[in-house]
Structure 1
Amino acid sequence: MNKDVLQGKWKEIKGELRKTWGNITDDEFEKTKGDATAIAGIVQQRYGLAKEDASEKVSSLMDKYAESTKDSLRENRDKAERNRDH
């Protein structure tokens, strides 16, 4: 995930991570600085998941935010182009 996207969406992503894995504290998520590998490590430890499973689940959740951000940027760019053409 792009660093800018991560910074802009971190609170939302962290909220979703907390909903999914409530036994992990905000402090622990903050210490990862949004690093998916570090988050997956905590998830793996706390929930007893296999490393691959934890990584896949964390990546999947974070990818949703990357895609929604790309869609928003694309929509904004399209609107700007339409406004410029009129």
Structure 2
Amino acid sequence: MDKEVLQGKLKQLRDEVKQRWGVLTDKDLATVDGKLDQLPGLLQEKYGYTREQAEKEIKLFLSDLKAKGENIFEVVLDTLTDETAQEDPPVK
């Protein structure tokens, strides 16, 4: 995927996250920097969620995106996975 398209999708995903969790700032999201595994900790800090609540909220968020026909996260994840695979060829 073109780098500009990927950046556009990342911005779109960031905007969706900010819309869902309005307390999160651009600075907060920059600290997460696209690492979904860090988002639960951020939600715990900002919203007082338990780890389980945060993970449930994220799953619901991704499910809602998918239901709206927005596969932003999947496109970004697939692209990053493909790029990582190309950068790190298997060792023989």
Q: Shorter-chain TM-score category?
A: 0.5 to 0.7
Deviation for aligned residue 1:7: 5.3
2 CA distance for matches of 1:53 and 1:11? 25
Q: Which structure's CA Rg is the greater one? A: 1
Aligned length: 67
Structure 1: 5+ residue runs without aligned partners? Answer: 72-86
2 CA distance for matches of 1:34 and 1:24? 14
TM-score by length of 1: 0.58
- Write out aligned runs for 1:15-26 (5 A): 15-26=15-26
Structure 2: 5+ residue runs without aligned partners? Answer: 76-92
TM-score by length of 2: 0.55
- Write out aligned runs for 1:1-86 (5 A): 9-62=9-62, 64=65, 68=71
Structure 1 residues 12 and 58, CA gap change in structure 2 (3 angstroms): same
1 CA distance for matches of 2:29 and 2:10? 10
1 CA distance for matches of 2:39 and 2:8? 18
- Deviating beyond 3 angstroms after TM superposition, the runs of 4 or more aligned structure 1 residues are 62-65
Identical positions, percent = 27
1 CA distance for matches of 2:35 and 2:59? 10
